[in-house]
Amino acid sequence: MGDLFANLYFGFSVSLAPYNLLACFMGVFVGTAIGVLPGLGPVATMSLLLPITIKMEPTAAIIIMAGVFYGAMYGGSTTSILLNLPGEASSVVTTLDGYQMARQGRAGPALAICAWGSFIAGTLGVLGITLMAPALAEMAVKIGPPELVALLCLSFLLVVQFSGGSRPRAAASALLGFLLSTIGLDPVESTPRYDFGTFTLMDGVGFAPLVIGLFGISEVLINLEKSEKMEVFKGRIKGLWPTRQDWRDSAPAIGRGSVVGFFMGILPGMGTIVPPFLSYSLERRISKRPEKFGTGVIEGVAGPEAANNSATAGSMIPLLTLGIAPSAAVAVLTAAFLTHGVQPGPLLITEHPAIFWGVVTSMYTGNALLLLLNLPLVGMWARLLTVPYRYLWPLILLFCGIGAYSVSNNPADVMLMAVFGLLGYMMRKLNYPGAPLVLAFVLGRLFEEKVRQSLVISRGSYETFIAHPLALLAWIASAILLLYPFFLRGKRTTHFPAEEEE
Amino acid sequence: MPRRSLFLLFVVALVCLPLQSAHSANYPSYPVQFIISFPPGGPGDTTIRIIHPALQKNFGGAIQLVNKPGAGGAIAYTYVKKAKPDGYTILSTMSAPLTVGTALRTLPFALDDYEYIGAYAFGATGIVSKPDKRWKDLDGLLAYIKKNPGKLNYGTSGAPTAPYLTMAAVLAIRDLKATPVHYKGSGPARNAALGGHVDFSAGGFGAMQALLRAGKLVGLAITDNARDPKFPDIPTLKEKGLGRASIGLWAGLWAPKGTPKAVLDKLSAALKKTAGDPAVVKKLNKAGFRVEFVDGAGAKRLARQDHETSREIMKAVGIKKK
């Protein structure tokens, strides 16, 4: 323990040096900005920053890049709440209750709780890195394809329940997501499927065009057909800050979201996209008012936003301790290390202690800076709603286009975005939720890959899926989840009216 | 209407810009785009980003790095093939999509569709396993597979990649059987070996090095022509009489067919000078690459050789072109 404090002290002496502190501020500032802009994501931004940072000291360069990565998670919620338009893929879930809050004039509290939730989760996540990084990384590597299959199945079951509306419609939307995830080279033998002979579809549907089209473009289309004086809400903005009751509702959600996000972030492939979904469904599951979810409950905003922040911290663990990149954004961070002649991995902490502890401690500082940066902005963002929509929508379209293009610099992705924009529009018109599609799309790809790898390793024996204790545990949990509503049904109906009388 | 004429002037200037630059005498008169066929952070991306500042200086002009990943590199290769051969669109990537990719698949580009500027960084396929296995080296592993035919699994960086072809060829040459489990890239394949999900793995050597140095993995063999000075204990396949399984993995620069020779020479000279810069060499070594400058003609020979090797391996192993 004494060692730990010595290391932290050493780390802070590095990260609080004026130059590194400035780098940290630059990073989180840029991160917030691109997080707010729909479409522009951390991956594209970090790769644009790489050539700029190459002239800097390695520690400062990594600090600035990491700042962009977790800073983006703060900004991502802003447009989700204000415009029903996820600024980052990780903020898709935030649209569900965040936007409803904005329509009720509660954009301020929603934004503020996002900033606080992100800060708490981010700090808890870094604390997690500080205390248990090496042990956790070793454990994450032990989770093989069969265990992942079970975990993915559990995740999916957890999330399926969350879309408040019609179950069959949510299921149909998820099914479409699964089908879309089968487009492109198959994950094991690399045989092209449903790509119509085009290179763009050979790697499958791009995630950015899908999400930006489905949510961004469709939102603009829906709004444009409403009357010209479209406004998110009419009336006065009711208070900018969360009330005491808001805090009471959100605090446990933030805590749970932080834990879920942190551990999911360590797993390969989950990234920062799946954890918010899980957090949301978890909150809805254990809430005393699940039927209110989707109508603007604050814990439905706080939990997921906490989850995506602690997930960024979690996904740094495999990188810092094993040199493994669990997501695309972390892969760019790996490149940042390598371009400075530093090899991330088990030896990082002994060979470059200044970089390791400097970067880790800069994340504490960065989260504090982000809070200071984002809280004063809440008032400004909330006022954005008073800008007439006719000025907003061309800008939104522009950023959507840039966002879809900038991931692979492929013009065809912009076309793809337009197609998904139309699909999203139709789905909205017919009342099909978009979130299950996105989640099924992400999980589907990973699920197929892991099922097939498991079966190759086990020579086609399905026993492999229950042979591992962790997998078995996940299956049992899944079974309980499936049966749980049947047990609860009787209890709920007797319980609820009594509570409402209070 | 002065405003309108100003606008017209601007349009004319825009139109003339590329025309003017076609004269290679004042090349480069605006930034040259380097197209990278990998996403940011990929192997062919890291190499060019490491040499970028020095290359830009030696070249004497601005170089823009543009990632166009997708379809195993096919998007970038096709883009550059169709680009104007004026020296402003250059392909900067790893050789594998061109050499191995065109052997495995029917693709709308071929070895002869490009001018070769040069190669500068050489990677290798590494075969690794955990230190607690029954075998200590490649011979031990191959002997163990012989005693347990078809029992072992090995991770690969993907079905259409050189490490898989190399490992399949090693097994075919010795008439052994083990089951490949394809992962998405060298990183996941290495993790599969590290986590004990497969018995050993074949993937890009660069991705293995951090864990090899930490002793968490053991290197059994690499495909390069000579041993890596950082890992003098890891033998090459050539030493083991398995040189036929080696496919080169190198980073280079290509231009569209018909690019003026003066342009190619200028880029080649800048690349040669950069590859001789000790600071650049050190960084590339750290990232897991051996640095050696090979000129355009030499790179073309290497590409042809790797392509032929890939086709021979496919024939020997029984992999059909898709």
Tens of pLDDT, residues B136-165: 999 999 999 999 999 999 999 998 899 999
Percent of chain B at pLDDT > 70 equals 92
Tokens describing residue A74: 């703060």
Residue type present at position A132 = M
CA A140 from chain centre, in angstroms, equals 19
pLDDT at B8: 59
Domain positions in chain B are 30-123+249-315, 125-247
Q: Do A443 and A152 meet the contact criterion of CB atoms below 8 Å apart?
A: yes
Residue-level pLDDT at A497:
33
C-alpha pair distances (Å), B67 with each of A99, A171, A410, B40, B53: 35, 36, 9, 7, 17
- Within 8 A of B47 by CB-CB distance, chain A residues are none
Q: Cβ contacts (< 8 Å) between A332 and chain B: which residues?
A: 40-41
Probe site for chain A from B33, B48, B75 (most A CB atoms < 10 A): B75
At residue B233, what is the residue type?
A: D
Residue A204 amino acid letter = G
Q: With bands split at pLDDT 50, 70 and 90, how would you rate the model's confidence at A487?
A: low
Contact A410, B39 (CB under 8 A): no
CA distance A347 to chain B (A): 6
Element (H, E) at A446: helix A435-457
Dig out the tokens for A500 from the structure: 């409402």
At A290-329, the pLDDT tens digits run 888 888 899 999 999 999 999 988 888 888 887 777 777 8
| Nearest chain B residue to A411, by CA | B68
CB A366 within 8 A of CB A24: yes
State the count of interchain CB pairs (< 8 A) between A and B: 144
CATH of region B125-247? 3.40.190.10
Task: Say yes or no: do domains B30-123+249-315 and B125-247 share a fold.
Answer: yes
Name the class of domain B30-123+249-315. alpha beta
Looking at residues B208-236, what average pLDDT do you find?
Answer: 91
Is 0.85 exceeded by the ipTM?
no
Contact check, Cβ <8 Å, B68/A54: no
Going by the DSSP 8-state scheme, the letter that residue A238 receives in this structure is -
Could you give the CA distance from residue A37 to residue A30 in angstroms, rounded to a whole number?
11
- For residue B56, count other CB atoms closer than 10 A to its CB: 18
Nearest to A322 among B68, B211, B213 (CB): B211
Does the beta-carbon distance from A342 to B286 stay under 8 Å?
yes
Least confident span in A236-245, A296-305, A367-376: A236-245
Question: Are residues B72 and A459, on separate chains, in Cβ contact within 8 Å?
Answer: no
* Chain A: closest CA distance from residue B1 (Å): 29
**What's the DSSP call for residue A405?**
H
Does B29 score more than 80 pLDDT?
Answer: yes
SS (H, E, C) chain B: CHHHHHHHHHHHHHHHHHHHHCCHHHCCCCCEEEEECCCCCCHHHHHHHHHHHHHHHHHCCCEEEEECCCHHHHHHHHHHHHCCCCCCEEEEEECHHHHHHHHHCCCCCCHHHEEEEEEEEEECEEEEECCCCCCCCHHHHHHHHHHCCCCCEEEECCCCCHHHHHHHHHHHHCCCCCEEEECCCHHHHHHHHHCCCCCEEEEEHHHHHHHHHCCCCEEEEECCCCCCCCCCCCCECCCCCCHHHCCCEEEEEEEECCCCHHHHHHHHHHHHHHHCCHHHHHHHHHCCCEEEEEEHHHHHHHHHHHHHHHHHHHHHHCCCCC
Domain range summary for chain A, segments of one domain joined by +? 2-501
Res. B270: pLDDT tops 90 = yes
Task: State residue A500's pLDDT score.
Answer: 33
DSSP letter (8 states) at residue A230:
-
The beta strand positions in A56-202, using DSSP E, are none
Residues A433 and A427: their CA atoms lie apart, in Å, by 7
